[in-house]
Amino acid sequence: MKNRRESERLLQCNKRYISGGVVSVNRATEPEIAFARGEGAHIWDVDGNQYLDYHAAFGPHFLGHNEPHVTEAVRRVLREGISLFGSGTTMLEGQLGELICTHVPSAESVQLLNTGSEATYQAIRLGRAFTGRSHIVRMQGGYHGWHNDVACNLMTPLSDLGPRVSPGEYPFKPISAGIPEEHQQLVHNVNFNDLDSVRWVCQRYPIAALIAEPILQNIGVVKPEPGYLQGLRKLADEFGFFLIFDEVKTGFRHALGGYASIAQVSPDLVVFGKALANGYPIAVLAGRRELMDRFVDPSPARRVLLAGTYNAHPVPTAAAIATIERLLMNDGEVYRYTENLGEMMQQGLERIFARVGVRGVVARQGSAFCWYFMDHCPRDWHDLAMYHDFETDAVFRLMLVDRGIYVFPLPPKQCSISAAHTAADIEITLHHMENALAQAMEAVAEKSASTSRRS
């Protein structure tokens, strides 16, 4: 067990000023570790313990922590006094806009915001303004931020959600208090990979927009079945709703053009964040010009308000430009490199499952991966919640963290490899995984034996 005295002391101290001691409830987890520094593929906590990082702060650090090209771009902004002016356009925002419109096939025009939540909020509002309809569709197991339209139906226990329905929808299960009942009526939750349910909802409600992560990466890595994303595109055209791809997690990590460019599906609107600026706070809403022009429509009745003091702040904007430049280097070599590491991880882990004798699979897209203790990769939340062994996963994750392999200790959160990881890092990780898994299985078996002895 690692020494975590300083982490514990800091948490207790911060509790005096911050409710719970941690900013953002999703960061409060067991074990409570206070991190202090990151470099490349490694992070260090305040007690000096070193970890190989697969959490990547929920995804942004695709190039690794403090990537030199990105850090230098940030330093240059500060050195040259490129401040936030809040009046008129800037060189940096134009440069970033051009890069995104050049490399993202569905992007004809962009807006820059600070967070993924703001961008998904604006995308949905734009869809509503354009169609004059109010209802939206989203996926059970998807995550799009904290606002009223989308703060629901993430990892809903099946005891609360009920059995699979198809075609049909699930009740709105808020993940936040304070969402008005009337608002909840406007949001329709269906299972991923289920086109019949989208059609079912569209036949009953006037749908303005459907928002979906093209791969569900907030419940591990749940991939679209062949034809699913294309089917969503067809339904959008048939029923006249806007197709919004939330590529906050998938965008720039899987390809410069987002996962949509891999799937060859063109959404009406697309949202990016996270890997776009390798750890700096910026998000992008992009899409068809006809739609995006609504943000500057001369008619106040038609114009959609998009404003924000810090939008296109020079520091994250420069970081995003530098990140894209880095991703473009050597003909996108970073994607081939991380794909190879991802494959090495997947094959190694699958071999470990076979050797240790555990039923398990690895779901992966490029550098993003997740293991599931079940016999197939899940196709939606119901599949995952019914078959995945959450208990073994939770213990396995804790044992990895204790060995200096930082995966977020909450199943079934996705793991991220970065361009700063090396083949040697993957080997070390696999070595620890084998021991941690064997030990986790022993611990779970021992616990269930002692429970059955007691009963």
Ligand X SMILES: Cc1ncc(COP(=O)(O)O)c(C=O)c1O
Residues that bind ligand X (CB under 6 A): 58, 115-117, 120, 143-145, 213, 218, 246, 248-249, 273
Contact 381, 191 (CB under 8 A): yes
Structure tokens at 392: 């073994």
Q: Which two structure tokens, joined as six digits, stand for 168?
A: 């049909």
User: In terms of Cα–Cα distance, which of 430, 440, 266 is closest to 341?
Assistant: 430
Contact between 104 and 269 under an 8 Å Cβ cutoff? The reply is no
Contact (CB, 8 A) for 386 and 158 = yes
CA distance 97 to 277: 13
How far is 420 from 415, CA to CA, in rounded Å? 15
Q: Least CB distance from residue 355 to ligand X, whole Å? A: 33
- When CB distances to ligand X are compared, the closest residue is 116
Residue with smaller CB distance to ligand X, 169 or 247: 247
Residue closer to ligand X by CB (options 373, 408) is: 408
Using DSSP bridges, classify how beta strands 368-372 and 361-365 pair: parallel, antiparallel or unpaired.
Answer: antiparallel
Sequence length of the chain is 455
Task: Give me the least distance between CB of 229 and ligand X, in Å please.
Answer: 15
Least CB distance from residue 143 to ligand X, whole Å? 5
* Residue type, position 408, single letter: F
Q: How far apart are CA 157 and CA 384, in angstroms?
A: 11
Go through 164-188 and write b for each residue having 16 or more CB atoms within 10 A of its CB, e for each that does not. beeeebbebbebeeebeeeeeebbb
Closer CB to ligand X, residue 115 or residue 153? Answer: 115
Q: Tell me the closest approach of the beta carbon of residue 60 to ligand X, in angstroms.
A: 9
Based on CB atoms, which residue is closest to ligand X, 249 or 403? 249
Shortest Å distance, C-beta 286 to ligand X: 14
Give the shortest CB-147-to-ligand X separation in angstroms.
Answer: 9
Between residues 175 and 428, which has the closer beta carbon with respect to ligand X? 175
CB nearer to ligand X: give 239 or 408: 408
CB of residue 96 vs ligand X: minimum separation in angstroms? 17
Query: In angstroms, rounded to a whole number, what is the distance separating the alpha carbons of residues 350 and 143?
Result: 28
Closest to ligand X by CB, 7 vs 250, is: 250
